A and B are shown apart, each in its own frame.
Chain A
Amino acid sequence: MSISNDNYDRQELNDICKAILQQQGIRCYFCEVIGKRWSFMAGDENIIAAPHRYMLDSKLGIIADKKIMNLDKYTENL
């Protein structure tokens, strides 16, 4: 059993984070966003400082250690 958010495929989110790391050298993770809460969903669990945050839709966000270029390219099919 594991915690799950029904709306997103964790494996797909993990794959996006891996692709961003491989292509841009940027570490990141996805969060479910509810009000003030950003709750870890998938991606790199070992990031230390992650000052860059992006809202992808009303419930999904991504936090990264550097500014991600062309983020839309990675997330357009979510």
Chain B
Amino acid sequence: MSNLSPADWKKQVIRQDEIDKYLTNGKDFIDEQQIMAELAIGKNPDKQQVRDIMQKSLAINRLDPTETAMLMHVNDPELLKEMRQTGLEIKRKVYDNRIVFFAPLYCSNLCVNNCAYCGFKCENNQEKRRILTMDEIRQETEAVVAEGHKRLIMVYGEHPSSDADYMVKSIKTAYEITKKAKNGEGNIRRVNINAAPMSTKDLKKLWEAGIGTYQVFQETYDKKTYSQVHPPSTLKGDYRWRLYALHRAMDAGIDDVAIGALFGLYDWRFEVMGLLHHTMDLEKQFGIGPHTISFPRLMPASGSPISENSPYLVNDNDFLKLVTVLRLSVPYTGMIVTARESAELRRKAILCGCTQTDASTKIGIGGYTDALKELDSYEAARQQEDEQQFMLGDTRSLDEVVRELAEMGMITSFCTAGYRCGRTGEKIMGMLKHCVEGKFCKLNAVLTYREFLEDYASAETKAVGEKIIEEEIRQIKSQPYFQKNTELMNNFWKEYELIKGGKRDVYI
């Protein structure tokens, strides 16, 4: 934790040389005129052209900007339906039938920035400010582990009190937790981070702490809008410092990085193009695209009028369209839909090809512990508007969401195996593009689902969950890929039996 005042701290954070080194002839990769020109191409696209583009996606090739723009211009309901079906097909090809779950853990809402749309902005006097102590992080992690989660995304406000050293301490604290479950014990196996851009030196500290993915959302790729919603005098006001945050992460050794935009600040089509150009620049400079893409929508936030009256708020139909287009455009990447969205919309987004989601989410600082303390009271069900960054659309428990997915025929995965077996960075990218990683996803989903059913599932969830496991095992037995890989399957069956016998944290 830094002892500097926020004003002094701000001066020392941004390093111009760690921006300039990534520029091409002094320019960044967001060329607004070029993007507008790409968007203008292909209005009223030909049906066959669109179907050809879908075939390219199905072959797990990233689309070009003009192809992506064409998909965004599709308005024919039948063609849109085909696009959604293709999105789901791609997802199944690359990631199989599983949805990975995680839990966000908000560590601090102290923030030096003053972003127009955010409840954490420094001028929001309605926000109760708090930073979790290590004891509180321990309690929060225990509460999350007790639900059955294995993955965390730890979220921090940008402030000297929650600097890289604080993050490292909190990550290590979360990794240390072990909590007894019904038949085994639970722990956090992968900690991802959502934190403000930082220097390569600080990013190396996070890497050394064993983080999984480092996530930074650009919020908006439109430079004018960016400067309107992020006052230029603030740290976050530096567009390029943020734009190259993940490039610095790559240089620091963090090979799983995650991009995103806050949809609703500017035209959604432009933001999709921004995400694509971001992907392309990471591919160009490092040979690896983003591990995941997120597409949160602007939601009502305390003290933030723009969160309710922005002219660019995205309606449900356009939201599902942009999710579909991103799925087709970057077919190898993971896609995250969160509890910001209502249960109904989340279901629909998952059927467009999303791969990850959260459940039992509390985004108030100390929210999991508070909910446990007040379990029987009305307060527990209420979201704490004055301690949250925004309001959630879906507050159901993990057990309920796991059950719903099972009823939809999908298996929940708590797998963290890729990260534990060297399937990260360029290696996992290669395996995703060649549709090999999905085979591991299938096996590890079954193993971790077995753990969940043994340790955390309600009787109702267990009943429907057993049917899903049966079906997954039937598919595994019938697929030639698995029939040919005898050693892989021998290991799988051995580990499956070990889990039934009480052993935990085994993976392929």
Residues of chain A whose beta carbon lies under 8 Å from any beta carbon of chain B:
1-5, 29, 31-32, 34-41, 45-46, 48-51, 53, 61, 63, 65
Contact = CB atoms under 8 A, between A and B. Distances in A.
Interface residues of B, number: 37
Given A36-B210, A36-B420, A38-B420, A49 B189 contact: no
B485 interface: yes
B48 to A, nearest CB: 35
B427 A3 contact: no
A61 B175 CA distance: 20
B497 to A, nearest CB: 15
Given A2-B286, A49-B508, A40 B424 contact: yes
B427 A45 contact: yes
A35 to B, nearest CB: 3
B29 interface: no
Contact of B251 (A1, A45, A65): A1
Which among A2, A29, A39, A46 has the greatest number of chain B C-beta atoms within 10 A?
A: A39
A25 B420 CA distance: 24
B430 A45 contact: yes
A30 to B, nearest CB: 8
Interface of B: 175, 189-190, 207-212, 250-251, 253, 255, 285-288, 416, 419-428, 430-431, 436, 439, 485, 487-488, 491, 508
B152 to A, nearest CB: 12
Contact of A31 (B285, B422, B431): B422
Given A31-B422, A39-B424, 16 more contacts: A1-B251, A2-B286, A3-B425, A32-B253, A34-B209, A36-B190, A38-B420, A39-B255, A40-B426, A40-B428, A48-B436, A49-B487, A49-B488, A49-B491, A51-B487, A63-B421
A49 B485 contact: yes
26 contacts: A1-B285, A3-B251, A3-B255, A3-B286, A3-B426, A29-B422, A29-B427, A35-B210, A36-B175, A36-B419, A37-B210, A37-B212, A37-B419, A37-B420, A38-B419, A38-B422, A39-B424, A40-B425, A40-B427, A45-B431, A48-B436, A48-B488, A49-B487, A49-B491, A51-B508, A61-B422
